[in-house]
A and B are shown apart, each in its own frame.
Chain A
Amino acid sequence: MNWISISKREDLPKNREGVIRAAAVVLSIVCAGIVIWILGYNPIQVFPSMVTGALGSEIRLQQTILKAIPLIVTSLGILVAFKMKFWNIGGEGQILMGALAASYIALNVDGLPKPVMLLLMAIAAMVAGGIWAFIPAFFKAKMGVNETIFTLMLNYIAIKYVTYLQYGPWKAPESKGFPKVANFEQNAIMPELFGIHIGWIIALVCVVVVYIFINHTKKGFEITVVGESRETARYAGMNISSIIIIAMLISGGLCGLTGMIQASAVEKTLSVNLSAGYGFTAIITAWLSRLSAIAVLFVCIAFAILLQGGTYIQISMQIPASVADMIQGIILFFVLGSEFFLQYRVNLPLWNQKVKEVA
């Protein structure tokens, strides 16, 4: 006798869905709370602290938004690829290649006015990120090479290449042998608006553009159809190879733009750390937003709250980084786990039988 069986849910009533999601949140807080308590901290203090730490003051809100910006732009890039069921795991590498190209412009082109310089850097970054995504897209379109492994491996090439530049040819002479690329000139640094660099405007624009692109353009429609059924796309006379390649150019271009934003606005230089795992985190956020550009905005902000809240409690309550990471991990585990229960039904025949017999 099977003690467990799992089947796909056909339709889930809205209220059940709400119950499952709420249960996930409550369980995650309870579980994380137990862990916090075992480790000797007071959960009653930790959780509110996380929320107020992310939203409680202007400074904190700014910190949260700063973390949300790269996440939003990258998630949108990942979304475009995932919409096509092209599993782009290479966001990290595309971010770095974008940052690399932007930095090349910033360090080698002199005397441009700031708007022109920034525009040039953004274009270079999007092209570079696009090329980094084009490579696997080309092999997938023409030869059916598995894109998951391909994009993943390209991450390491990008990371190692930027490391090589930072430790070698691009090492700034004035840093006295310390492996650091020279800082950008003032004209290559993004201006601020309301105390936050204008990346937030770029992110909002990207949300709108990607939303329109996916939902209201012919290309976006083609990408969605290819993602749903390649055979149908073929049947409708779509050029699948070119759609894959164009979508990936856009996907990689957006990731590359993240690299430019982080290099120009945050680091003011090229650093191998600047992608900070956003390329991977964006996979989670894109997925949680069910591949909707508008939802990406909210999911990424929620995620940034979690990140900033985690950093904040580390400082304010002097909780070790590892504990803050565990709390984040537990919350994420339950939220992602609830997605499974939303899509699948789990039956426990033995359990049900027992319940019935008792009843």
Chain B
Amino acid sequence: MKKMLAILLVLALAMGALVGCGGGETNGNGEETPEATTIGFLYIGPITDGGYNQAQHEGTMAVKDHFGDAVNILYAENVAEDIQAVKTNAINMIDNGASIVIATSFGHMDGMEELANEYPDVTFLHFSGYKMNDTNFGNYFGAMEEPRFLSGIVAGMTTETNKLGYIAAYPYTEVLIGINSFYLGAKSVNPDVTMNVVYINSWGDAALEQAAAESLLAQGCDVLTQHADTSAAQTTAETAGKWAIGYNIDNSAVAPGSFLTAPVWHHDAYLVPVVERIIAGEYTPESYYGTMADGYIGLAPMTDLVSAEAKAKVEEVQAQIMAGTYPIFVGPLNDNTGKEVVPAGSAMTERGDIWSMDYVLEGITAIQ
């Protein structure tokens, strides 16, 4: 015990000496401009994942570019989806002056809820969750079913085997919406198309995503897409000489041989105005749901691998969706057990209805 105390003492002294040396300099980048607003971002993965987190961070950087010295950005990568990890990172950010904390993965929700109660002076924004309060905790997301549907059209008009492959994270509502809207997009231009889904039970894991992609290719799928964080599906499809539709960001440079297009996020379209409102003291918590018309989401430019015919079709439908005249979930629709979920003659357009989806549609085979 004495020994341990001694070692602690030595450690403290050694570091204390360094404190002495370094005392005159600024500590980190948090204190350079006292007026600046500090914003902390929590990411579930590394910002260089070529997908989800990279898209989030591009939004973050756009915020920095827009506000310049008026904001300081802090971010933490690889924040696990448990309260422990969320809170320790967020509290360290608040300790470093953050007055806005933005968490970007669904599983960060409960931690954010607790933080919102504990730190009433800090504004918390949560991407993809449903919890909020009246004072300092809001959420935001986007109608990803719109660009998903468009990318489905591209897939449906590109496939030769009429079999599509979908690598999915979890059988969670957000993911199911994406699966179904993509499939409906394909089906709208190619009635013979079927689709196989593989769940990897992780938001992002390049190895799992690659294994799932290989398995789908082996099942005869020739156009792959994914609801997972990395670009593994596109690179795997490229190696196999097949096509792939990405997600989150434009990955045409990563897999030029397979990449067709991708439904993408433009996080800055929401973050810039909302941060502006928060700084101005004009923010009240909301549940934002951005659309293509808002510019919050969209379809990445289609590459040369996409036929002119498909491009024309996509542009036609896109204009209608943005005009609000093209509902995506139009009856009759059955789930893959044969149960009717949207009756003939009606369409599912309410956000609440769409966000209670707990099935995949007829024609889709899902492997858990």
Contact = CB atoms under 8 A, between A and B. Distances in A.
Interface string B167-182: 0001111111000000
The A interface is mostly helix, strand or loop, or mixed, namely helix
A21 B6 CA distance: 8
A212 interface: no
Contacts of B4: 288-289, 295, 298-299, 302
Interface in B4-37: 4-8, 10-12, 14-16, 18-19, 21-23, 25, 27-30
Contact of A18 (B6, B25, B40): B6
Contacts of A26: 14
A271 B82 contact: yes
A47 B93 CA distance: 18
Q: How large is the interface on A (under 10, 10 to 19, 20 to 34, 35 or more residues)?
A: 35 or more
B358 interface: yes
A315 interface: yes
Contacts of B76: 314-315, 321
Given A18-B6, A311-B92, A316 B82 contact: no
B19 A276 contact: no
Contacts, number: 156
Given A45-B25, A271-B82, A273-B81, A318 B75 contact: yes
Interface in B58-79: 74-78
Nearest to A269: B110
Interface in A37-57: 42-45, 47-53, 57
Contacts of B27: 45, 48-49, 52, 316-317
Interface in B68-116: 74-78, 80-85, 87-89, 91-96, 106-107, 110
Contacts of B308: none
A318 B91 contact: no
B84 A273 contact: yes
Interface string A175-191: 11111100100000000
Nearest to A21: B7
B92 A312 contact: yes
Given A21-B3, A48-B19, A67-B88, 16 more contacts: A18-B6, A25-B11, A44-B18, A48-B18, A48-B22, A51-B16, A63-B88, A176-B355, A176-B358, A183-B110, A267-B82, A268-B110, A289-B4, A295-B1, A302-B8, A311-B89
Interface of B: 1, 3-8, 10-12, 14-16, 18-19, 21-23, 25, 27-30, 40, 74-78, 80-85, 87-89, 91-96, 106-107, 110, 170-176, 201, 355-356, 358
17 contacts: A51-B15, A52-B19, A178-B170, A178-B172, A267-B84, A269-B110, A273-B80, A289-B4, A292-B1, A295-B3, A312-B95, A314-B76, A315-B92, A316-B27, A318-B29, A318-B75, A335-B7
Interface of A: 17-18, 21-22, 25-26, 29, 42-45, 47-53, 57, 59-60, 63, 66-67, 167, 175-180, 183, 262, 266-269, 271, 273-274, 276, 288-290, 292, 294-295, 298-299, 302, 308, 311-312, 314-318, 320-321, 335
Complex A-B, nearest 10 residue pairs according to Cβ-Cβ distance, in ascending order: A48-B19, A177-B172, A176-B173, A316-B28, A44-B22, A178-B172, A295-B1, A315-B92, A51-B15, A273-B82
